[in-house]
Structure 1
């Protein structure tokens, strides 16, 4: 095993043929900052052509989760200080890393044990082998702060069964391990008590066994997915053309969960809901790179041209009054093309300089 700095925010080490990247901010549930993104990117660059490394493992220190997301408080400070271009630096670095993981020439294994949300989905959701445990809680909760899913989340949401993508994207609902596998956010369920054994096996694997074959030795069948039982009404409701029509359909449903969803949507930022609905549907076409480009247009529109993102962070994390003042305030006030402005926005600098 290589030596590493235990005080680092990302522990970079090698264990046999395994390159291991462990997020190391457990008190913050390993929330990502731009320095951590840089460390992960640098390690992946170094291991790309290293013949001693066959597999890369991404996990998190502590028992609370892989990663709770990005540093949205820093984003709030940048926006309110009038420096959205600084936010652009973070998003550009993060999205480039998301794409790098997806396209990496070596097998990337991610263990989404515990809380894995937002930026954590960007790390784990695009890995080649995605593992969850009984402690896993996955979500793209951006609409809770008046925002929209990013880090390639719309790509995953757009490929979920039926209309689960729209449902999960708009509500920000949390998925269990079973739900994550069912919705296409994870591949394998491994009990948390066997994770250390799995890590060791990946580092000491003997050819010709592949990482996928090794993981299958630890894989178990999770409990039935709760989302599967909700599919009928979700598919009917969330196939509607607009957020307003979704709200109208919810009002006609008798299911308790549908009624709860109606209440939830009425509390969230209408603009964020409209932008998210448009984003998930756009991301159904094209590849991950296309989805990231679409997300970048939308997040930079929010960062520099719409007040709801800063207001949502203020209400949830700064003043913590839980009383955001959305613009517009209600779904009924949304214009029919409410998501069009964010879709058409052209950032000053493109996400990817070429292509």
Structure 2
């Protein structure tokens, strides 16, 4: 069975991820097929809209195929990983500027690479089952696929918080933080898709969306932003440890569980995205890191501990965030040996 279904119905072109046993993890082949389909529909005047969704009720897409990347890295095949990320990032940028509306139905788990093929789309729909997160620091990566740019759109300094902790946003949080636009109960998605295919008019589905509940993050945003606005991640951690707030105690635990190198680079990448905005610039910076993540970062060890051996006991290259130097952060963000990312 194919991992992806691509077809047309009336004025709507439809992409469905069909790899439910792997939580629709995004393989290299899936990336290339999505890009090819989108390019072909650019010249097809019968296609007015594109929809992207998943067969699973559990997950839209839980991220990239990190097991495949791990296996390549363990063979010291770093080129294949770089090629995957180059093609994936090119797709993310392409989707963000696609001239026809793309409606992404972000039902279930949406993480990492799944955010990249949905949250950059023009119309983003979430449900009561939606859980969006960027847990990359926990496996020795950084929030990528252009998400360091997306994170700067969240109110205050929630972006740094979300990127470092991997906090799971519900539907209301996702809308509040700029990762989604509309809420719909999951049992109404079929009607929304059918209506769009039959009418070919986005206005006809507007009445099918509902008002989301209040974002949980909105009530702590000011407090979180005060801490995460600090100039260094070391200062953020000091303030968090002084706080008695439940969210702060949880944040310390999650950040300390991640790769110290990844956390330091994540903080730097979000700050750079604030200074130099735009998805394409963010993707270029992120690519510098992921190009080195297998050989010089903690990616292989992070995936081993989380997915391969599942011992949840990664042996990171650094004992703590305080042990990572600015020079090491800058080294991980230098132009990669294979050349910079071209979009």
Residue 74 of structure 1 pairs with residue 68 of structure 2:
yes
**1:232 aligns to 2:232 (yes or no):** no
Q: Is 2:144 the partner of 1:150?
A: yes
Matching residue within 271, 274, 294 for 2:285: 294
Shift of 1:200: 0.8
Q: Secondary structure at the match of 2:333?
A: helix
The offset of 1:46, in angstroms, is 1.1
Q: Is contact 1:31-1:68 (8 Å) kept?
A: yes
| Equivalent residue number for residue 10 of structure 1 | 4
Deviations 1:35-71 (A, max 9, x none): 1111111111111110111000000002112101111
Please list every run of 5 or more consecutive structure 2 residues that lacks an aligned counterpart in the other structure: none
Aligned-residue offset at 1:173: 1.0
Check 1:282–1:27 CA distance in 2 against 1; reply closer, same or farther (3 A cut). same
Distance in 2 between residues matched to 1:107 and 1:150, nearest whole Å: 23
Note the C-alpha offset of 1:233: 2.0
**Distance across 2 between alignment mates of 1:214 and 1:337:** 54
1:251 to 241, 250, 267: 241
Query: In 2, are the aligned partners of 1:301 and 1:345 still within 8 Å (CA)?
Result: no
Q: Residue 56 of structure 1 contacts residue 108 of structure 1 at CA under 8 Å; is this kept in 2?
A: yes
After TM superposition, the score normalised by the length of structure 1 is 0.93
Aligned counterparts of 1:346 and 1:139: Cα–Cα separation in 2: 27
The alpha carbon displacement at 1:221 in A equals 1.0
Residues 1:52 and 2:42 are matched in the alignment: no
Alignment of 1:64-143 (within 5 A): 64-143=58-137
State yes or no: 1:23 paired with 2:13: no
Counting only pairs closer than 5 Å after superposition, residues 147-186 of structure 1 correspond to structure 2 as 147-186=141-180
Cα deviation code 1:271-323 (max 9, x no counterpart): 110000011111222311111111101111212322x1111111111111111
User: 1 CA distance for matches of 2:324 and 2:223?
Assistant: 24
When structure 1 is superposed on structure 2, of 297-306 and 88-97 the one drifting more is: 297-306
The match for 1:318 among 277, 291, 308 is 308
- CA-CA distance at 1:338 after TM superposition: 4.5
Task: Please name the residue that 1:4 is paired with.
Answer: none
1:275 and 1:338 in contact (8 A); partners too? no
Q: For 1:164-191, what per-residue CA distance to the aligned partner results, in whole angstroms no more than 9, with x for missing partners?
A: 1000000111100000000000000011
Partners in 1 of 2:38 and 2:75 — Cα distance?
33
- Alpha-carbon deviations, 1:251-288, whole Å to 9, x = none? 11121111111122222111110000011111222311
**The residue matched to 1:147 in structure 2 has which SS?**
coil
146-155 or 325-334, larger mean C-alpha shift: 325-334
Cα displacement string for residues 93-121 of structure 1 (whole angstroms, at most 9, x for unaligned residues): 11111111111111111000001111100
Q: Structure 2 length normalisation: TM-score?
A: 0.96
Q: 1:128 to 1:347 in 2, by over 3 A?
A: farther
Give 1:349 deviation, angstroms: 2.5
Counterparts of 2:256 and 2:20, CA distance in 1: 34
Q: Structure 1: 5+ residue runs without aligned partners? A: 1-6
Q: Give yes or no for contact 1:141–1:172 (8 Å, CA) kept in 2.
A: yes
The reply to whether residue 34 of structure 1 matches residue 28 of structure 2 is: yes
The alignment covers a number of residue pairs equal to 342
- How much does 1:337 deviate? 4.7
> Offset of 1:141 from its aligned partner?
0.9
- Distance in 2, matches of 1:293 and 1:334, equals 22
Q: CA deviation at 1:336?
A: 4.2
SS of equivalent residue, structure 1 residue 130: strand
Is the 1:242–1:336 Cα contact (8 Å) retained in structure 2? no
How large is the Cα RMSD of the aligned pairs? 1.3
Equivalent-residue separation in structure 2 for 1:15 and 1:115 (angstroms): 26
Instruction: Output the CA distance in 2 between the equivalents of 1:10 and 1:89.
Output: 20
Q: CA–CA distance in 2 between the matches of 1:326 and 1:241? A: 24
